[in-house]
């Protein structure tokens, strides 16, 4: 119990010290609010503009969660295909890497244009969320593919030989040996992808926002920048940061609940 209390109290104490130093710097140097607002101005902006910011945050969160779900599903399937065929992995994994290392901010305008053209040609109208979802998925899926592929290929060689000795099919070997071995790797990839999906959604929204499309919280940040309402910009950034922390903590908790009864990585440490 004391350990849990310390894990909460220590970060809160550091945060309070940081806020106090922030307020002191703003007051001592008489910094203009449009350059660096104080904590009080940011808190007031959160209170006054909270409904508008939360509405935009909900759109960003919706894109993030949909992209994460798509990354989990598609990334997991790709990893399974890679584990079943070495030739498939060798052939396609370099392109997965290329897709990951290409800066999203560079390809997001193209993706937004292409999705707009495709949806318009199909008679479905303009759906900006689809383009944002594709951009966020591109950022989020790689950790799941990479981690899960490593996990599926990390099954004990002696156990693999035993499965072959008893005539187990590739599907049974995958189901009973490779997948349980890969589960901790997969969940680690999901935890990483949760934050990356949020980053991808915001980056795509910045591109859409600069084109005049009102979307999520990134648009509110651009709007605050153009109007020099820096306190509102800080309020939006705080909401994004808190959202990222909550997503990570939720995924970490889910991972521990899944692994706690059989994997040592989720067990209590000796110090506790």
Domain locations along the chain: 1-30, 37-265
Q: Which two tokens stand for residue 97?
A: 């890497």
Averaged pLDDT score across all residues of the chain: 87
In this predicted structure, the answer to whether residue 65 has a pLDDT above a threshold of 50 is yes
3-state secondary structure of 59: helix
Q: Distance between CA 105 and CA 71 in Å, rounded? A: 19
Is residue 3 a contact partner of residue 272, using CB atoms and an 8 Å limit?
A: yes
Q: Give the pLDDT score at 234.
A: 94
Q: How far is CA 83 from CA 71, 192, 254, in A?
A: 17, 21, 25
Which of the 8 DSSP states describes residue 265? G
* Helices 50-84 and 230-259, packing angle to 10 deg: 40
**Span 2-7, average pLDDT:** 74
Which of the 8 DSSP states describes residue 267? S
pLDDT band at residue 272 under the 50/70/90 scheme = very low
| Number of residues written out for the chain | 272
Percentage of the chain modeled with pLDDT above 70: 91
Q: What is the dihedral of CA 131, 136, 139, 142, to 10 degrees?
A: -100
pLDDT band at residue 2 under the 50/70/90 scheme = low
Handedness of CA 171, 177, 178, 183 (dihedral sign): positive
Which of the 8 DSSP states describes residue 201? H
**Tens of pLDDT along 132-184?**
899 899 999 999 999 999 999 998 999 999 999 988 888 899 999 999 999 99
Which of the 8 DSSP states describes residue 98? H
In this predicted structure, the answer to whether residue 23 has a pLDDT above a threshold of 70 is yes
Q: Distance between CA 272 and CA 268 in Å, rounded? A: 7
Closest CA to 237 of 215, 222, 252: 222
**Tens of pLDDT along 195-240?**
999 999 998 888 876 555 567 888 889 889 888 899 999 999 999 9
Q: Which CATH architecture has domain 37-265?
A: Orthogonal Bundle (1.10)
Closest CA to 197 of 234, 247, 161, 155: 247
Q: Distance between CA 253 and CA 272 in Å, rounded? A: 17
Q: Give the pLDDT score at 124.
A: 59
3-state helix, strand, coil in the chain (%, to 5): 85, 0, 15
Closest CA to 243 of 265, 264, 218, 262: 218
Q: How many CB atoms lie within 10 A of CB 128?
A: 21
């Amino acid at each position: 119990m004391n350990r849990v209390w310390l894990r909460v109290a220590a970060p809160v104490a550091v945060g309070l010290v940081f806020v106090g130093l922030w307020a002191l710097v703003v007051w001592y140097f008489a910094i203009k609010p449009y350059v660096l607002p104080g904590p009080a101005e940011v808190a007031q902006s959160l209170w006054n503009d909270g409904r508008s910011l939360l509405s935009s945050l909900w759109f960003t969160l919706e894109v993030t969660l949909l992209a994460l779900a798509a990354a989990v599903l598609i990334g997991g399937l790709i990893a399974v295909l890679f584990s079943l065929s070495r030739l498939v992995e060798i052939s396609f994994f370099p392109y997965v890497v290329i897709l990951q290392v290409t800066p999203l901010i560079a390809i997001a305008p193209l993706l937004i244009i292409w999705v707009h053209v495709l949806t318009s040609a199909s008679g479905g109208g303009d759906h900006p969320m689809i383009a944002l979802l594709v951009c966020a998925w591109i950022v989020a899926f790689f950790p799941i593919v990479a981690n899960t592929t490593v996990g599926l290929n990390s099954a004990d060689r002696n156990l693999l030989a035993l499965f072959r000795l008893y005539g187990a099919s590739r599907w049974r070997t995958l189901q009973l040996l490779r997948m349980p071995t890969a589960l901790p790797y997969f969940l680690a990839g999901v935890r990483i992808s949760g934050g990356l999906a949020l980053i991808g959604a915001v980056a795509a929204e910045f591109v859409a926002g600069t084109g005049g499309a009102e979307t999520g919280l990134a648009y509110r940040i651009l709007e605050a920048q153009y109007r020099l309402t820096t306190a509102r910009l800080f309020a939006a950034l705080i909401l994004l940061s808190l959202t990222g922390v909550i997503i990570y903590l939720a995924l970490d908790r889910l991972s521990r609940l899944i692994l706690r009864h059989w994997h040592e990585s989720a067990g209590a440490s000796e110090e506790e």
